[in-house]
Amino acid sequence: MSSLHGLGSVIYGKVCVTLPIPTASTDLSNHIIIVTGSNSGLGFEATRHLSRLGVGKIIMAVRTPSKGEAAKQQILQSTGKPESSIEVWSIDMDSQDSVKAFADRASLLPRIDGILANAGMMTTQFTLSEGNERTLNVNVINTFLLFFLLLPSMRRSEQQTGNPCRFAIPNSALHYIASLAELNEKETTMLERLNDPKRADMAGRYPLSKLLVLYMVREIAERGKTSNKGRFIINTPNPSWCKSDLGKEIESAGYKLAEKLLARTAEEGSRTLVHGVLADESSHGHYLANCHVQAPAKHATNRRGQGAQKRFFNELIVKLDSISPGIASNL
């Protein structure tokens, strides 16, 4: 039933929904927004929308600066905004050292109003990176490493400006079909099980990574309620199936036909991401679809899912603390 709901949401979004063109309810000319993976696809189109809306400074965080510079010029040419309104910074989301260096640099910004953590990957090939399966490393571990490292700066910015910083991580309707089998191992930790090349279910790894993102977003929002360190907003918007390079490994004719029939354009999907990074506090801790809060899969909200959510959060916090000692206290 969950799988059918996920498929239905894709079809409904494609056939029945016209996503609104992003607008800004406030003046964004003094805002600073970071977009990772912004030189192509959804990140590129989201950056173009943010530039059009008049964001004072956009940090295009990319793995290859030369591609980022080319994308920057293309965006500025289409929006007519000044050269100084966009900066290209280097980040490799598959490198903990790169993420830490980026966060150190970002902490020197006068304010941070939003982070669209768009960079991600999908593969069915098992590869270890920094001791972790690469999808897990990029989509989950280093994405939340970036969040926790930037959280003090996000809160400091809110205290100075009164504007809570948004941290938006793209999700997917594929989380509805994610299997919990890899999370039910009792003899090892979840992370050890997921990083085991002999038992890893790589066909389901991308959907599972998005479920884990949802777990973390929900748990962070819940645990952050009792903190007096300052407000922030974290959410996880689903752009739905979009034409992009994400599925470049899949060559089947059936996939290509389904993509042609059901997938949104990258520009259409980017509207949901811009909505997430500009959303108000009603989006905090939520899964968003079609620019609205939407109920996620039952295995994220039922008793079993809640147990898995708390266990994974605790494990990931220990992992992140080993990468950057003391990071857990930021929440």
Can you give the residue ranges of every domain in the chain? Answer: 2-319
Cα separation, 194 vs 126, whole angstroms: 10
Residue 229: pLDDT band by 50, 70, 90 thresholds?
Answer: confident
Cα separation, 316 vs 191, whole angstroms: 8
Which CATH number describes the domain made up of 2-319? Answer: 3.40.50.720
Is the alpha carbon torsion for 74, 75, 77, 78 positive or negative?
Answer: positive
Residue 26: pLDDT band by 50, 70, 90 thresholds?
Answer: very high
Q: What is the mean pLDDT of residues 1-27?
A: 72
Q: What is the mean pLDDT of residues 21-50?
A: 96
Q: What is the mean pLDDT of residues 179-199?
A: 90
The total of other beta-carbon atoms located within 10 Å of residue 103's CB is: 20
Instruction: List, in sequence order, every residue forming a beta bridge with 219; answer none if it has no partner.
Output: none
Active-site option among 176, 206, 215, 287: 206
Q: Whose CA is closest to 151, among 56, 62, 216? A: 216
Active-site option among 210, 215, 287, 319: 210
For 252-280, write each residue's pLDDT tens digit.
Answer: 665 555 555 668 899 999 999 999 999 99
Give, for 104, the enclosing helix (H) or strand (E): helix 96-106
Q: What is the mean pLDDT of residues 198-220?
A: 96
Cα separation, 103 vs 146, whole angstroms: 7
What are the tokens at 329? 């206290």
Arithmetic mean of pLDDT over the chain: 92
* Res 184: pLDDT: 84
For 105-143, write each residue's pLDDT tens digit.
Answer: 999 999 999 999 999 999 999 999 999 999 999 999 999
Q: What is the mean pLDDT of residues 204-208?
A: 96
* Res 230: pLDDT: 86
Beta carbons of 138 and 210 less than 8 angstroms apart:
no
Residue 18: pLDDT band by 50, 70, 90 thresholds?
Answer: confident
Q: Whose CA is closest to 150, among 90, 108, 95? A: 108
Task: Tell me which amino acid residue 32 is.
Answer: I
Q: In this model, does residue 11 exceed pLDDT 80?
A: no
* Res 68: pLDDT: 98
- 210 catalytic per annotation: yes
For 169-183, write each residue's pLDDT tens digit.
Answer: 999 999 999 988 889
For 134-180, write each residue's pLDDT tens digit.
Answer: 999 999 999 999 999 999 999 999 999 999 999 999 999 999 999 88
Comparing 284 with 264, the larger pLDDT belongs to 284
* Res 303: pLDDT: 93
Q: In this model, does residue 3 exceed pLDDT 60?
A: no
* Res 185: pLDDT: 73
Q: In this model, does residue 250 exceed pLDDT 70?
A: no
* Res 239: pLDDT: 95
- 287 catalytic per annotation: no
For 293-308, write each residue's pLDDT tens digit.
Answer: 999 999 999 999 999 9
**Residue with tokens 């968003």, as numbered in its chain:** 288
For 62-116, write each residue's pLDDT tens digit.
Answer: 999 999 999 999 999 999 999 999 999 999 999 999 999 999 999 999 999 999 9
